[in-house]
Structure 1
Amino acid sequence: MFEKKERKSIVVYLNYYRDVKKIKQVGDIAYVSRRGRYAVIYVDQDQVETLVEQLSGEKFVKRVVPSYLKDLDQNFVGNLWRDSDSVTIVEN
């Protein structure tokens, strides 16, 4: 049966836009910016560290930044209610 794998995005900054062809074999390309000369690719979670090291050593890559979205606290619901309770309205 189908098994879901954890994936993580990596932002690869390139020297030239034409170098996007070279990273197509590394992972699934989600977005490519011509003007910013970067590409967002998705790879399996267990391959992130090795691919970051491998891509950083390539001549056509400026820098590689992994996504930190999973590390952030995304529970925003409680924060909004706590702020509104602490504010008191004073009428003249």
Structure 2
Amino acid sequence: MFTDRSGLIVWVSDLKAANKQLERYGSVHYISKRLHYAAMYVHSSKLEETTKQLQKLPFVKKVERSYRNEIQTEYSSNMADKTRFYTV
């Protein structure tokens, strides 16, 4: 049902060009006006191809891969409960 997506951080020099042209390569999630970057998602199967195409654009400074989907989000509580030390 859901397609596999990978996140990309695209550092840009021109925000107007980025806003217009990055939609062709994937779904743009966020564009930072202050720091001049765009966070976008692309299909995982086309990640390398899309990265190469984005680096060829004249307004793109650098393309970085987001490792957010590889970070562990399920935590286990191996530590002892310390609430008894802080009771009044």
Assess same fold via TM > 0.5: yes
TM-score (norm 1): 0.76
Question: What displacement does 1:33 show?
Answer: 0.9
CA RMSD of aligned residues (A): 2.1
SS of equivalent to 1:12: strand
Corresponding residue pairs, total: 84
Rounded to whole Å, the distance in 2 between the matches of 1:53 and 1:24 is 16
| CA distance in structure 2 between the partners assigned to 1:34 and 1:69 by the alignment | 22
Alignment gaps of 5+ in structure 1: none
Per-residue deviation, 1:46:
0.5
Q: TM-score, with normalisation over the residues of structure 2? A: 0.79
Report the counterpart of residue 19 of structure 1 in structure 2: 17
> After TM superposition, which residue ranges in structure 1, 4 or more long, deviate above 6 angstroms?
none
Q: Deviations over 1:15-68 (max 9, x none)?
A: 121122121211111111111111111111111111111112222101111111
5 Å-filtered alignment, 1:15-54, equals 15-20=13-18, 21-54=20-53
Who wins on radius of gyration, i.e. which is larger? 1
The percentage of aligned residue pairs carrying the same residue is 26
